[in-house]
Amino acid sequence: METGKHSNSENRQTLWVVTELYYPEETSTGYYLTRLAEGLTVDFQVKVLCGQPNYSAKGLKAAKKELYRSVEIYRAAGTTLDKDVIIFRLINMLTLGISMFFKALRHFQKGDRVLVVTTPPSLPFIAAFASLLKGAGYVLLIHDNYPEILIAAQKARENSLFVNILNYCNRWLYKYASKIIVCGRDMFELVGRKTEGLDIPVEIIQNWAELENVKPFPRAENRLLKELKIEDKLVFLYAGNMGYPNDIESIIDCAAKLQDDERFFFVFLGAGVKRKWLEREIVEKSLKNVRLLEPRPRSEQNIFLNACDVAIVTLVKKMWGVSMPSRTYNILAAGKPILALTERDSEITKVVEEDRVGWAVLPDEPEMLRQKILEIYENRNEFEAMSKRARQAALEKYSLETALMKYKKALR
């Protein structure tokens, strides 16, 4: 019997999942790539090439090689300096990239399939070079589009030499990919333009909600609301990364406009490069209607995602087609209405409007946001119906099972 199982394993095609973050990391990309790899083990002999923990599990030294839930994991060495300091982040990318490249050359085999995520931006090039040298085929999984995300974050100028070089390199990367997978319909359009003339198939596979762990929970029983003593407020929650691509500024400007209105309260929970700025703004503007909390483990999502009436998802200008915040799907799973700060026709806007689970306003428009919040208060009797639609959308459209079916089909 054991021999038969071994034989079936040998007959399955080897699929390499190449990602900086993987188990025991629970940060967004680490979580999604871990669940994806584990879910594909029935159809593929799955192996993972990743780095050591450097985010939520930073400081934990994981095994260089281990078998975990039927996935063979190979971890490359690299520096784990403070990622919020740009020069340190670049050093981390360089050291890890070199290490992963040589591990890939050592372990990739002719005929293997490679799925590589585009975070960090150097990673797909490393995987592509190694794949081509070893005769493996690679599929790009685009979580963030470069250089567009750098332009939106004001870290690069449009039409600069750097951006033009990166666009040229991307054309090479796309040209030799066997397929490209994106996380949203706006991303599909953008990547379609970027790959025009290359005849590369592009498919949409959205991320998913953690339906087994995140679900609606009675507001009156939420211990975080009780701890903060804000049960009588209309609570808006921003939970997640506070990075350059996220419009935190508009929420704070809006909160300042509403600080004398005792009906509203804003809770921020998470980490990122904008967190220190946020701390200063709360103190300097004496914002009594804002509370900033420390990041909490993924296992507590059901508590903090339910500690609000409305959840906020934000992107800055020029992020159309660039990225899709994965936290959106767990907000839906918790049955929370969404207030999205995003450009028109973005994937977030489409989700909010098509499933009738919230509202969308343009980024960098704090006064428009204030008016929308007042409108939301007047229509708060709609929350219950929105909550039911949000949970239903998560169950029907954004489950792990739905995503795995699409990945299996795309990777065959």
- Asked if residue 330 has pLDDT above 80, the reply is yes
Examine the pLDDT at 7 and tell me if it is beyond 50.
no
How much is the pLDDT for 57?
64
Torsion, CA 152, CA 153, CA 154, CA 160, rounded to 10? -60
Is residue 131 within a helix (H) or strand (E), and if so which, with residue range?
Answer: helix 123-134
Across the range 57-64, mean pLDDT stands at 81
The per-residue pLDDT for range 344-376, each reduced to its tens digit, is: 999 999 999 999 999 999 999 999 999 999 999
pLDDT at 26: 87
Mean pLDDT of 259-281: 96
Asked if the model's pLDDT at residue 308 lies above 60, the reply is: yes
Query: pLDDT tens for residues 126-173?
Result: 999 999 999 999 999 999 999 999 999 999 999 999 999 999 999 999
Q: Mean of the pLDDT values across residues 13-23?
A: 96
Expressed in angstroms, the distance from the first to the final Cα of the chain is 27
d(CA 275, CA 354): 32
Mean pLDDT within 22-46: 95
- pLDDT exceeds cutoff 50 at 31: yes
Confidence band, pLDDT 50/70/90 cuts, at residue 16: very high
- Listed in sequence order, the DSSP H helices in 212-247 are 223-228
- Asked if 223 contacts 303 with a C-beta cutoff of 8 angstroms, the reply is yes
Q: Percent of the chain beyond pLDDT 90?
A: 89
Domains of the chain: 2-208+399-411 (3.40.50.2000), 219-397 (3.40.50.2000)
The DSSP letter of residue 221 is G
Enumerate the H helices of 135-263 as residue ranges. Answer: 148-152, 161-175, 185-194, 223-228, 248-257
* pLDDT 10s digits, 167-224: 999 999 999 999 999 999 999 999 999 999 999 999 999 999 999 999 999 999 999 9
Q: Which residue has the higher pLDDT, 389 or 88?
A: 389
E-strand stretches of 232-301:
234-239, 264-269, 290-293
Alpha carbons 1 and 4: distance in angstroms, whole number = 5
pLDDT score, position 9:
55
Q: Which structure tokens are listed for 125?
A: 């090039």
Residue 18's alpha-carbon distances to 11, 81, 179, 342, in angstroms, are 22, 21, 15, 30
Give pLDDT, residue 285.
97
Residue position matching structure tokens 């740009």: 86
In one-letter notation, the amino acid at residue 269 is L
pLDDT over 70, % of the chain: 97
**Tally of CA atoms within 13 A in the half-sphere of 158 that contains its CB:** 3
Task: Say if CB 243 and CB 272 are below 8 A apart.
Answer: yes
Distance between CA 154 and CA 163 in Å, rounded? 12
How many whole angstroms separate alpha carbon 357 and alpha carbon 334?
Answer: 12
Whether 89 has a pLDDT exceeding 90, the answer reads no
Query: What does DSSP say about strands 71-76 and 202-204: parallel, antiparallel, or unpaired?
Result: unpaired
Tell me the DSSP string of 76-100: E------TTSHHHHHHHHHHHHHHH
Mean pLDDT of the chain: 94
The predicted pLDDT at position 87 comes to 87
Structure tokens at 289: 């209607």
Q: Residue 185: which of 24, 365, 345 has the closest Cα?
A: 345
Q: pLDDT category, 81, cuts 50, 70, 90?
A: confident
Q: What are phi and psi of 274, to 5 degrees?
A: -90, 0
- 10 Å Cβ neighbour count for 320? 23
pLDDT of 123 over the 90 cut: yes
